[in-house]
Amino acid sequence: MNKLYQEEYVRPGRIEVVCGSMFSGKTEELIRRLKRAKFARQRVEIYKPAIDTRYSDEEVVSHDSNSILSTPVDSPTSILLLASDADVVGIDEAQFFDNSLVDVCNELANRGKRVILAGLDMDFKGQPFGPMPALMAIAEDVTKVHAICVKCGSLAHISHRIVKGEKQVLLGEKDEYEPLCRECYNKAIENK
């Protein structure tokens, strides 16, 4: 094995963020990374916000119906207590947690754990969402994934809400949101 690669592989304690719009494959990528860690016989624990019950109460489920068992939690501090034996900690829908998630992830990484988070980087108005900007700032690795704009086929970067409402958190999927590129999003906002 290449020495540089070997050193990178065994280096403990890191934060990885997978972010993007809805329907971009964030959860799919999170599940892929976690399953690879399990295959490597690492101890993996997965958490999600207790409020996210769209597909399952106890599983992280992608829009493509891939899933992995998880533990729903009400607050990030619960993760610190529950993940003590884990080598790898996965967290889905990170944008729904409060800003204490940043300190929790730092603490986990400082304890030598690999922390992998997935979440929306922006809300439906194109504004930074929850703790995601701070998580991206402290992460060793940030992967931004894109959906395809349903209007023009370009890369989409925003989750446009197609139902009425101003509340930032509205759990939903294809009936409530559509992925749009910048140009199509701006046109949609002008036509409201």
User: Of all helices (H) and strands (E), which one includes residue 16?
Assistant: strand 14-20
DSSP letter (8 states) at residue 25: S
Instruction: State the DSSP string of 118-176.
Output: EEESB-TTS-B-TTHHHHHHH-SEEEEE-EE-TTTSSEE-EEEE-S----S-----TTT
93 is an active site residue: yes
Residue 10, SS3?
A: helix
Residue 13, SS3?
A: coil
DSSP letter (8 states) at residue 19: E
Which one of the listed residues 29, 45, 93, 178 is annotated catalytic? 93
| Residues noted as catalytic | 93
